[in-house]
Amino acid sequence: MSIAFAPNLPSLAMVSGLLAYFAGGVGLGLVYFNAIWWNARLFARSGLGVAAIALVIGRFALLGGALTLASLQGAAPLLVMALGVLVVRPIVMRRHRAAPL
């Protein structure tokens, strides 16, 4: 008779996959929240309204597309990727808080 060792623990492949989604969320959050700062700079400058609107659309499309692809893998990858995006938000916003436009 064999006894399985910790059958209820997630496998190493599942944990490493979720860590990859978390890292992807962190990278996505860095791009997304830095793009907000770039967007504010574009709106502050005169004559660059079209570029600013294009950046807004691009930001939303990138975030929405990446989270949609993660959701196709299930709820856990979606939530872990969203957590990665949310974790990096205060870091990026704090860094750009005192930055001049």
Q: Name the band, by pLDDT with cuts 50, 70 and 90, for residue 4.
A: low
Answer whether residue 31 shows pLDDT above 80: yes
Distance CA 36, CA 60 (A): 11
E strand intervals along 1-101: none
Torsion of CA 21, 23, 24, 28, to 10 degrees: 140
Q: How confident is residue 99, by pLDDT bands cut at 50, 70 and 90?
A: low
